[in-house]
Structure 1
Amino acid sequence: MSSLTPPQAPATWAHTPDQVTTLINELIAKDSALWDKVGSLPPEECTFESLPISRADAEMETMTEPLLFYQNISTSKELRDAANAAEVLLRDHGIEISMRLDVYQAKVNAEKNIKASGRKLSPEEERLVEKLLLDGKRAGLNLPDKERKELEKLKKELSQICVEFSKNFNEENGHVSFALEELKGVPEDVVSGYNKREEDGKTLYGVTFKTPDIFPLFKFAENPETRRRAHEGYDNRLSINAPLLDKALDLRRQIAKLLGYPTWADYITEVKMVKTAANVHTFLDDLQKKLRPVGLKDRETLLKLKEKEHEEKGYPFDGQLYIWDYRYYDQKFIQSSLDLDEKLVKEYFPVSVIVPQIIQIYQNLLSIKFVEMKGDSWHPEVQKYSVWKKDAKTPEDFVGYCYLDLFPREAKYPHAAVWGLIPGYLKPDGTRHYPTVAMVANLAKPTPERPALMTHDDAVTFFHEFGHAVHGLLSRTQFSKFHGTSVARDFVEAPSQMLENWGWEQKVLKKISSHYKTQEPLPDDLIQKLIKSRYVNAGLFYLRQLFFATYDIKVHTDKDATDYTQLWNDLRQEISLVIGPKSALPGQGSFGHITGGYDAGYYGYMYSLVFAADMYATVFKKDPLNPALGEKYKNSILLPGGSREELDSLAEFLGRPPNAEAFMEELFGDSKTSSANL
Structure 2
Amino acid sequence: MTHSPLTLPSSTDASTWGEWVRARSSEELDRARELVDLLRTDPPAEAVEVLRVWDRAGGHLRGVSAIGSVIGNVHPSPEVRVIADAAEQDADKLATEWSLDSTLYEVFAGLDGSGLDPIAARLLDKVRKDFRRSGVDKDDETRSRITAIRDRLTELDQEFSRITRDDVRSIRVAPERLAGLPEDWIEAHPAEGDGLVTVTTDYPDAIPVRMFAHDQDVRRQIQTAFLQRGWPAAEPLLEEMFAIRQEPATLVGYPDWPSYDADVKMIGSGAAIPEFIDKIVAAAEEPMRADLAVLLERYRQDYPDATEIPLHDSFYYQELVRQDQYDVDGQRVRTYFRFPLVRQGLLDVTGRLFGLRYEPVDVPVWHDEVAVYDVFSTAADADGGSLGRIYLDLHPREGKYKHAAQFTLTNGVAGEQLPEGVLVCNFSRGLMEHDHVTTLFHEFGHLLHHVLGGHGDWYRFAGVATEWDFVEAQSQMLEEWAWDPAVLRSFATDDAGEAIPDALVEAMRRSDDYGKGIYARTQMFYAAMSYRFHADEARRVAGEEVASLTDRMIELQGRYGALPYLEDTHMFASFGHLGGYSSAYYTYMWSLVIAKDMFSAFSTEDLFDPEVAGRYRDRVLARGGEADAADLVADFLGRPFSFDSYAAWLAR
Q: TM-score range by the shorter chain?
A: over 0.9
AA at the equivalent of 1:375: V
CA separation in 1, counterparts of 2:287 and 2:265? Answer: 29
Question: How much does 1:396 deviate?
Answer: 5.4
The 5-angstrom pairing of residues 290-439 of structure 1 reads 290-310=283-303, 317-391=305-379, 397-426=385-414, 431-439=415-423
| Structure 2 residue 146 is matched with structure 1 residue 151 | yes
SS of the residue corresponding to residue 599 of structure 1 reads coil
1:132 to 123, 127, 133: 127
* CA distance in structure 1 between the partners assigned to 2:463 and 2:103 by the alignment: 30
Instruction: Provide the secondary structure at the position in 2 that maps to 1:191.
Output: helix
Out of 254-263 and 53-62, give the one that drifted further. 53-62
Letter in 2 for 1:461: T
C-alpha deviation, 1:363, in angstroms: 0.8
Partner Cα separation in structure 2 for residue 651 and residue 391 of structure 1: 25
Residue matched to 1:578: 563
Q: Which amino acid aligns with 1:577?
A: A
| 8 Å contact from structure 1 (residues 372, 383) kept in 2 | yes
Report matched runs for 1:57-456 at 5 Å. 57-62=58-63, 65-109=66-110, 111=111, 113-115=112-114, 120-194=115-189, 196-199=191-194, 203-239=195-231, 240-310=233-303, 317-391=305-379, 397-426=385-414, 431-445=415-429, 452-456=430-434
1:187-216 CA-partner distances (Å, limit 9, x unpaired): 2322332364334xxx11111111110011
Q: In the alignment, which residue of structure 2 is the partner of 1:655?
A: 638
Aligned residues, how many? Answer: 637
In structure 1, the partner of 2:506 is 528
State which of 6, 11, 15 in structure 1 corresponds to 2:7. 11
Corresponding residue SS for 1:206: strand
TM, length-normalised to structure 2: 0.94
* Distance in 2 of aligned mates of 1:378 and 1:22: 17
The residue type paired with residue 301 of structure 2 is: K
- CA distance in 2 between counterparts of 1:394 and 1:635 reads 14
CA shift at 1:620, angstroms?
A: 4.4
Task: For 1:456 and 1:614, locate their aligned partners in 2 and report how far apart those are by CA, in whole Å.
Answer: 24
Q: For residue 494 of structure 1, what is the aligned residue in structure 2?
A: 473
| 8 Å contact kept, 2:465–2:625 | yes
- Give 1:472 shift: 1.0
RMSD over aligned Cα atoms: 2.0
Q: C-alpha separation between the residues in 2 aligned to 1:598 and 1:648?
A: 23
1:599 to 577, 582, 600: 582
Note the alpha carbon deviations across 1:644-671, whole angstroms, 9 max, x for none.
11111111111111111111111114xx
Q: Is the 8 A contact 1:46 1:106 kept in 2?
A: no
Aligned partner of 1:449 in structure 2 is none
CA distance in 2, matches of 1:396, 1:444: 35
1:438-496 Cα shifts (integer Å, max 9, x gaps): 11111112xxxxxx112111111111111111111111321011111110011101111
**What CA distance in whole angstroms lies between the structure 2 residues aligned with 1:262 and 1:569?**
26
Residue deviations 1:223-253 (CA, integer Å, cap 9, x gap)? 2221111111111111121211111001011
Question: For 2:45 and 2:82, how far apart are their aligned partners in 1?
Answer: 43
Secondary structure of 1:37's counterpart equals: helix
Tell me which amino acid in the other structure corresponds to 1:581: L
Distance 1:41 1:662 in 2: 53
Aligned counterparts of 2:27 and 2:377: Cα–Cα separation in 1: 36
Tell me which of 615, 628, 636 is aligned to 2:598. 615
Q: Counterpart amino acid of 1:229?
A: Q
Once residues 667 and 298 of structure 1 are traced to their aligned partners in structure 2, the CA distance between those partners, rounded to angstroms, is 12
Relative distance call for 1:494 and 1:620 in structure 2 (3 A) is: farther
Following the alignment from structure 1 to structure 2, what is the Cα–Cα distance between the partners of residues 531 and 45? 60
Query: Match for 2:441: what amino acid?
Result: F
Identity of aligned residues (%): 28
Letter aligned with residue 58 of structure 1 = G
After TM superposition, give the deviation of residue 6 of structure 1 in Å. 8.6
TM-score (norm 1): 0.90
Give the distance between the partners of 1:352 and 1:471, measured in 2 at CA. Answer: 23
SS of the residue aligned with 1:53?
helix
Q: Does 1:544 align with 2:522?
A: yes
- Residue 8 of structure 2 contacts residue 364 of structure 2 at CA under 8 Å; is this kept in 1? yes
| SS of residue matched to 1:271 | coil
Deviation readout 1:514-570 (Å, 9 max, x if unpaired): 11x210101122122111112102111111111000111111222243401111122
Report the Cα distance in structure 2 between the residues aligned to 1:582 and 1:439, rounded to whole angstroms: 35
> Residue 404 of structure 1: SS of its match in structure 2?
strand
SS across alignment from 2:357: strand
Partner Cα separation in structure 1 for residue 384 and residue 330 of structure 2: 45
**Aligned CA distance change for structure 1 residues 391 and 22 (closer, same or farther; 3 Å):** closer
**Cα shift readout 1:273-295 (whole Å, capped 9, x = no counterpart):** 11011111111112112212321
TM-aligned CA deviation for residue 7 of structure 1: 5.9
TM-aligned CA distance change 1:27 to 1:318, over 3 Å? same
What is aligned with 2:445? 467
Q: Would the aligned equivalents of 1:392 and 1:398 in 2 still touch at CA under 8 Å?
A: no
Higher mean C-alpha displacement, 79-88 vs 8-17: 8-17
The letter for the 1-side match of 2:554 is N
Question: Any conservation in 1 of the 2:298–2:317 contact (CA below 8 Å)?
Answer: yes
Structure 1 unaligned spans of 5+: 312-316, 446-451, 670-678
